[in-house]
């Protein structure tokens, strides 16, 4: 029986093979691991470098996006729940962003936005079902206030 003394092969026997990094040569794999670690630790620098490259190479970006579309679509179909979870997380993060909040406040003060909202409300309030619903809601609220006042007077 031949016994292996290579420490990497001993580790490989105990661990399941890594799917993400299929680099057989140890020195290349370790170099790649160090690159990924540096990129993770210096994320801001890496993002800035990526933005510059994308601004300089828009045709390559477009080509890469087109090439990735089928794989992304397939992943989305296979991982529907995870996709929804990530979308919700992204929406929450975006909604609490101070820049977005400031922009939204400024946007809502624009005259054309205010007028558009008023026009939409006018159209919605013309609906007889909507008017009836508001009447019923107001009646329920008045009744609740009256009962609360009676309960307070009795107590």
For the segment 70-117, what is each residue's pLDDT rounded down to a tens digit? 999 999 999 999 999 999 999 999 999 999 999 999 999 999 999 999
127 and 114 share a domain?
Answer: yes
Rounded mean pLDDT, 8-24: 66
pLDDT category at 2 given cuts 50, 70, 90 is: low
- Supply the range of the domain harboring residue 35: 1-56
In sequence order, what are the residues at sequence separation of 6 or more whose Cβ sits closer than 8 angstroms to the Cβ of residue 100? 94
Tell me the average pLDDT of the chain: 89
50 and 69 share a domain?
Answer: no
39 and 77 share a domain?
Answer: no
pTM of the model: 0.42
6 and 30 share a domain?
Answer: yes
Distances (CA, A) of 26 to 4, 35, 142: 16, 14, 77
Q: What total of structural domains would you count in the chain?
A: 3
41 and 26 share a domain?
Answer: yes
DSSP, collapsed to helix, strand or coil, labels residue 5 as coil
1 and 52 share a domain?
Answer: yes
Higher confidence at residue 18 or residue 39?
39
pLDDT category at 17 given cuts 50, 70, 90 is: low
Last residue of a domain, one of 96, 117, 147: 96
């Amino acid at each position: 029986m031949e016994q292996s003394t290579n420490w990497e092969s001993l580790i490989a026997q105990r661990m399941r093979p890594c799917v993400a990094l299929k680099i057989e040569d140890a020195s290349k794999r370790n170099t790649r691991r160090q690159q990924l670690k540096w990129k993770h630790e210096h994320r801001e620098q890496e993002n800035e470098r990526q933005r510059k490259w994308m601004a300089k190479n828009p045709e390559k970006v477009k080509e890469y996006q087109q090439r990735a579309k089928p794989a992304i679509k397939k992943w989305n179909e296979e991982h529907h729940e995870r996709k929804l979870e990530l979308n919700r997380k992204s929406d929450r993060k975006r909604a609490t962003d101070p820049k977005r909040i400031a922009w939204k406040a400024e946007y809502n003060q624009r005259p054309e936005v205010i007028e558009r909202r008023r026009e939409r409300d006018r159209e919605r309030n013309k609906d007889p079902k909507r008017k009836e619903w508001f009447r019923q809601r107001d009646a329920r609220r008045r009744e609740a206030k009256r009962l609360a006042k009676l309960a307070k007077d009795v107590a």
